[in-house]
């Protein structure tokens, strides 16, 4: 599998955010997108996820499952964590397992991996920011997708959480997955760097 972008440009609200961006990532590779605030890191991830249309250039995926589009094979972990405060932790996770489909898996196991199993019956409204992030990470584990698009994944995670997530990303890469992460802090895995905007 090989994800590549050629000459990608992005325009938001009439302003050019970036242009002429080249990148590629093959199976087992991670790409860390770095750049100052407002340089378009989130926009790039949303372009790859198919949530925005590129103003120029193209993003393509070779290999992978032929009949599925790039966005259907991707997980997007954004700033907004897609959790319903009225539902419990395990209800949130079971919903995404049921809706996103894929291979059957046990949500309880994923909760145990992210150390949230003690809070499974708690409404998501009572979770802290770090716990919400851990629950979002559990979604990545419950439903398998080869491409992970991560926007500031380490935000709000404590030191042990960051270490845990680095190990999970390592597992994902070892399984042949692709990770593209917008980040300000080191990911804790070997990753190539894609710099956008002016170098800080």
Which residues are near other proteins by CB under 8 A? 46, 49-52, 68, 71-72, 74, 76, 78-84, 86-87, 91, 94-96, 98-101
Q: Closest distance between other proteins and the C-beta of residue 113, in Å?
A: 20
Cβ 200 to other proteins, closest distance in Å?
A: 26
Backbone angles phi, psi at 73, to 5 degrees: -100, 10
Residue 83: left (phi > 0), alpha (psi -120 to 50), or beta?
Answer: beta
For other proteins, the closer CB: 42 or 183 = 42
Q: Which is nearer to other proteins, 119 or 124 (CB)?
A: 124
The smaller minimum CB distance to other proteins, of residues 156 and 166, is found at 156
> CA–CA separation, 128 vs 132, rounded Å?
6
Q: What is the DSSP string of 36-69?
A: -TTSSHHHHHHHHTTSS--SEEEEEEESS-TTS-
- Smallest gap from residue 128 Cβ to other proteins (A): 16
- Joined together, the tokens standing for residue 75 give 């997980």
Q: State which residue, 83 or 150, has the beta carbon closest to other proteins.
A: 83
């Amino acid at each position: 599998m090989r994800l590549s972008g050629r000459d990608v440009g992005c325009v938001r609200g009439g302003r050019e955010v970036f242009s002429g961006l080249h990148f590629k990532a093959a199976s087992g590779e991670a790409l860390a997108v770095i750049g100052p605030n407002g340089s378009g890191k989130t926009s790039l991830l949303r372009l790859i996820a198919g949530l925005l249309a590129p103003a120029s250039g193209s993003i393509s995926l070779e290999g992978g499952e032929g009949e599925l589009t790039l966005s259907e094979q991707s997980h997007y972990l954004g700033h907004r964590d897609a959790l319903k405060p009225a539902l419990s932790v395990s209800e949130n996770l079971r919903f995404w397992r049921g809706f996103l489909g894929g291979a059957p898996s046990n949500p309880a196991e994923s909760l145990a991996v992210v150390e949230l199993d003690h809070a499974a019956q708690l409404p998501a409204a009572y979770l802290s920011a770090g716990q919400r992030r851990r629950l979002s990470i559990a979604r990545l584990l419950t439903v398998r997708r080869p491409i992970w698009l991560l926007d500031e994944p380490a935000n709000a995670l404590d030191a042990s959480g960051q270490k845990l997530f680095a190990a999970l990303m390592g597992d994902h890469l070892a399984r042949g997955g692709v990770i593209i992460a917008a980040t300000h802090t080191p990911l804790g895995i070997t990753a190539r760097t894609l710099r956008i905007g002016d170098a800080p």
